[in-house]
Amino acid sequence: MATNFPTSIDSFTNPSSGDTLDSPSHAAQHTNINDAMVAVQTRLGTGSGTIGATTSYTPALTNFTVSSQSVQYAAVNNLVFVRFYFAISSVTGAPIFTVPSGLNISGFAQHQTCNLLDVGVANYQGVLMFVSSTSVAVECTNVSFTYAVNSGVSASTPFTWTAGDVISGGFWYLAV
């Protein structure tokens, strides 16, 4: 029997103590279970390909440069988790970075927070905005209005960025 996994659940015959092991045969029973287990292991993966395993990637950066970075993702089916740390060299406009290749963002819009660290001065709350199916922009929270609003990050907003400042956080999204 070829396995039906992952499109449907396989149906196996459980032998009872009085069975003669010929319907299905003992060998066929083992073959069926082994085939199903190989299909499950293939689906779950091995090593760094295991579902949910953390994998590092290097995103394309727009409007900012970094002296170091640590960016990883984990994918569980089409649910993708990303965590990031960028040690800033310079910021020239709204920082934008790409999501892992081949794991594009679905139309589901999820806005999440991040940290904008002016080293030795203050930690600001940032907001992540999905700006395309492949890119995330960093904005800041502006509280100079009656209600907090998102504002663009620039070389001088929410503070004047200098070498060593940090953008860090994590987010999740549904991939297409």
**CA distance readout (Å), 68 to 14, 76, 87, 124, 138:** 56, 27, 5, 20, 17
- pLDDT more than 90, % of the chain: 52
pTM check: above 0.75: no
Tokens 């709204």 sit at which residue? 94
Q: How far apart are CA 16 and CA 9, in angstroms?
A: 21
**pLDDT for 44:** 66
For residue 56, give both structure tokens. 């590092």
Domain-by-domain residue ranges, the chain? 1-44, 55-174
**pLDDT for 36:** 78
Q: How far apart are CA 97 and CA 88, in angstroms?
A: 13
| Domain 55-174 bears CATH identifier 2.120.10 | no
Predicted confidence (pLDDT) per residue in 89-123, tens digit = 999 999 999 999 999 998 765 668 899 999 999 99
